[in-house]
Amino acid sequence: MELLLAYPSAGAVVAREDEVVLRKVVLPSTPYVAWYVYDARRGERDVWIVRLLHASQKRPAPDISRWVPTVRSHH
């Protein structure tokens, strides 16, 4: 997970809505694929793992709208 924290844009873009990006990356030296969401607007630079699957498992992409804020604050 250090890879994703250090390089949140490491994975291939699967979906984007505003600054929220859903990405997918094969984790090095493992048989796993991680789907993760990153919101560039957030100062904490959080990366949320939303799906972790064996590379041979085929699933549709997660719905990015689950991680897009519905209430926008005005600063």
Report the predicted TM-score, pTM, of the whole model to 2 decimal places.
0.77
pLDDT in tens, the chain (75 residues): 777 888 888 899 999 988 889 999 998 889 999 999 988 777 667 888 999 999 899 888 888 888 776 544 444
Q: Is the distance from CB of 36 to CB of 47 less than 8 angstroms?
A: yes
d(CA 64, CA 32): 20
Report CA 74 to chain centroid distance, whole Å: 25
If DSSP codes are grouped into helix, strand and coil, which group holds residue 53?
strand
